[in-house]
Chains A and B, each alone.
Chain A
Amino acid sequence: MKKSILAFLFFCLFLGCGIAKAQEVAVVANKSVKASDVSADELRDIFTGDKTSLKDGTHAVPVTLKGGAAHEAFLKKYVGKSDAAFRAAWRSLVFTGQGAMPKTFDTDAAALEYIASTPGAIGYVSAGAANHEGVKILAVR
């Protein structure tokens, strides 16, 4: 019986860690974005400058954080690049005349304020900070 309880606790702990990691970052958007979810591929395309609109036709304005755990987690999970490689890729677009740099903010709160007031804005923040009146949380498929 003891073993079963221990195994159950271990399982809960393992599950808890998984949930904690999955909830590290939340993808949020301005309420003008029609979709309630977004695919991982769409996210990558938007945040690498490959696409400027979502599948539902909404013009997407990418918003990034300057650094921090949510920023690192987002890049690792959805973009597949390190922070330095991510910045280099955007600089390459900007300095060759093929793109404009995404808006970047120091804090979750500043990013949320901008996303809330900018039609089409889509960004990410720490999961715990995502509740904000002016934004919606997008599920990632």
Chain B
Amino acid sequence: MKGRLLVLCFICSMAMPLFAQDLANLQIHGFVTQGLLYSSNNNWYTTTSMNGNVQWTDGAISFTNPLTDKLRVGIQLHMYELGQLGGPNVDVDWASGDYRVAPWLGFRAGKVKTRVGLFNDSQDVDAVFLWSLLPEAVYPIDNKSFLLSHMGFDVYGTFDLGKQAGKLNYTGYAGYRDLDLHGGFVNEFAHAPFFNVYTNAPSGSVYGGDIRWQMPLRGATVGVSELVSRLEGTCLTGNIIVPSNLLYAYYGQYERGKFYAAAEYRRWPYTGSGIIFSTFPIPIVEDLREWYVMTSYRVTNKLQVGTYYSHYLNAAAKDNSLPANYSKDWTISGRYDFNQYFYAKVEGHFVHGTALDYYTVTNPTGLKTNSNLLAAKIGFTF
């Protein structure tokens, strides 16, 4: 027994320097934000925002370790609470190994962020944006998990096309994704007629790709993304199946010094079916057409201001002039960085239409077509 202990101690003593050396490159970063929502007419998300609501907290911590010149591993833990959504649950936002063979070829595997459009993979990282809420038509904060990440792998790289032609970045991926059991989609179903609480997180396979061209015009990028996904979920009273469907997005951005502008168009048509009580089928037909244009200007190194227009339409609806089938949002925003770590944001939303943002549970008496929202946030990042 003593001999075994000695061997164990010897192995541990040999391993410790290696462990310490490996941890010498470990990077720890994180952010925490606290928000305020105050709205007119309708309660936003699942909060009581008409009375002013501070149930909007968000935070993440990431651990990254470049093990060699080409290999990096990391994990990020994330939590959010937005009214009744999220809650005190800590989720693995991503956890992956990344091996970059050459500039034109790299692999990522594990739980990885899904690259669709300009901001899909970073949409839950408040610290990097001017906006408190990204354009809701394309990046709804209450349903981030729909496309945010997948369990699987990425293949990615960059081709240098020469000084006259710019660069081409590509990403291809495949895997499957789970929806957030505490997110907006599941919450809304829990309060819908007939359907009930999901017994497990709706999930399904996903694969797709993204190609973006960094143009010779410095700061200009255009790109296209395509994603094929399917979704299956089981409720207490039935199930939902959305067979494989294609989402595609076109986008562009331009950044020069203090000026930034971007636009994105996304279309997501799909059909599916829900079956309740094992007998009654309900067809699901949607044709989502979503786009936004945005611009911002950095007035000083600490102050940034901007505006965007975001547009959402379900074109498959029988009457898409009904407010329930569209949402149009004008937004103005400002961000002030007190230093490298602390920042504050203030944002005004002027929304027409009720297709997004609102939940039956906090608007039991119905919805008004127009609603304005003041969103404010303070954040800390390191």
Q: Do A and B bind each other?
A: yes
B340: Cβ under 8 A from any A Cβ? yes
Interface of B is mostly: strand
| Known pairs A80-B218, A80-B256, A82-B258; A94 contacts B27 (CB<8 A) | yes
Assembled-state Cα–Cα distance A31/B77 (Å): 38
A4: Cβ under 8 A from any B Cβ? no
| Known pairs A82-B301, A88-B128; A51 contacts B158 (CB<8 A) | yes
A53: Cβ under 8 A from any B Cβ? yes
A32: Cβ under 8 A from any B Cβ? no
| One of A15-23, A96-104, A109-117, A131-139 contacting the partner | A96-104
Assembled-state Cα–Cα distance A87/B98 (Å): 22
**CB-CB nearest in chain A for B30:** A95
Cβ of B108 and Cβ of A97 under 8 Å apart? Answer: yes
Cβ of B62 and Cβ of A95 under 8 Å apart? Answer: yes
Cβ of A101 and Cβ of B29 under 8 Å apart? Answer: yes
**CB-CB nearest in chain A for B343:** A84
Cβ of A59 and Cβ of B62 under 8 Å apart? Answer: no
Cβ of B64 and Cβ of A94 under 8 Å apart? Answer: yes
**Which chain A positions have C-beta within 8 A of B103?**
51-53
Shortest distance in angstroms between B299's beta carbon and chain A's nearest beta carbon?
11
Shortest distance in angstroms between A3's beta carbon and chain B's nearest beta carbon?
39
Assembled-state Cα–Cα distance A53/B304 (Å): 33
A92: Cβ under 8 A from any B Cβ? yes
Cβ of B76 and Cβ of A95 under 8 Å apart? Answer: yes
Cβ of A84 and Cβ of B66 under 8 Å apart? Answer: no
B318: Cβ under 8 A from any A Cβ? no
Cβ of B113 and Cβ of A80 under 8 Å apart? Answer: no
Assembled-state Cα–Cα distance A101/B127 (Å): 15
User: How many inter-chain contacts with C-beta < 8 Å in the A-B complex?
Assistant: 85
**Which chain A positions have C-beta within 8 A of B72?**
100
Q: With a 10 A CB-CB cut-off, give which of B122, B129, B260, B337 has the most chain A CB atoms.
A: B122
Cβ of B62 and Cβ of A94 under 8 Å apart? Answer: yes
Cβ of A85 and Cβ of B98 under 8 Å apart? Answer: no
Contact of B122 (CB < 8 Å), options: A51, A87, A95? A95
**Which chain A positions have C-beta within 8 A of B2?**
none
| Known pairs A87-B340, A100-B64; A95 contacts B158 (CB<8 A) | no
Q: Mark B118-129, 1 if CB is under 8 A from A, else 0.
A: 000110010111
Shortest distance in angstroms between B261's beta carbon and chain A's nearest beta carbon?
14
| Known pairs A53-B103, A83-B301, A97-B76; A41 contacts B163 (CB<8 A) | yes
| Known pairs A80-B219, A82-B298, A83-B301; A95 contacts B29 (CB<8 A) | yes
Assembled-state Cα–Cα distance A50/B96 (Å): 19
**Which chain A positions have C-beta within 8 A of B163?**
41
Cβ of B218 and Cβ of A97 under 8 Å apart? Answer: no
* Interface positions of B from 29 to 79, Cβ below 8 Å from A: 29, 31, 60, 62, 64-66, 69, 72, 74, 76
B286: Cβ under 8 A from any A Cβ? no
| Known pairs A92-B128, A97-B112; A80 contacts B158 (CB<8 A) | no
**Which chain A positions have C-beta within 8 A of B301?**
82-84
Which 8 A/B pairs are nearest by Cβ-Cβ distance?
Answer: A59-B69, A95-B125, A97-B94, A92-B128, A88-B128, A96-B121, A96-B113, A100-B64
Excluding A85-B255, A91-B128, A97-B76, 15 further A-B contacts by CB distance (< 8 Å) are A50-B158, A51-B158, A80-B219, A81-B257, A84-B337, A88-B128, A91-B29, A92-B128, A94-B62, A95-B76, A95-B125, A96-B94, A97-B62, A97-B64, A120-B69
Binding site for A on B (CB under 8 A): 27, 29, 31, 60, 62, 64-66, 69, 72, 74, 76, 94, 96, 98, 100, 103, 108, 112-113, 121-122, 125, 127-129, 158, 163, 167, 218-219, 255-258, 260, 298, 301-302, 304, 337, 340, 381
What are 7 sample pairs from A and B whose C-beta atoms fall under 8 A apart?
A: A41-B163, A51-B103, A83-B301, A84-B298, A96-B125, A98-B121, A100-B65
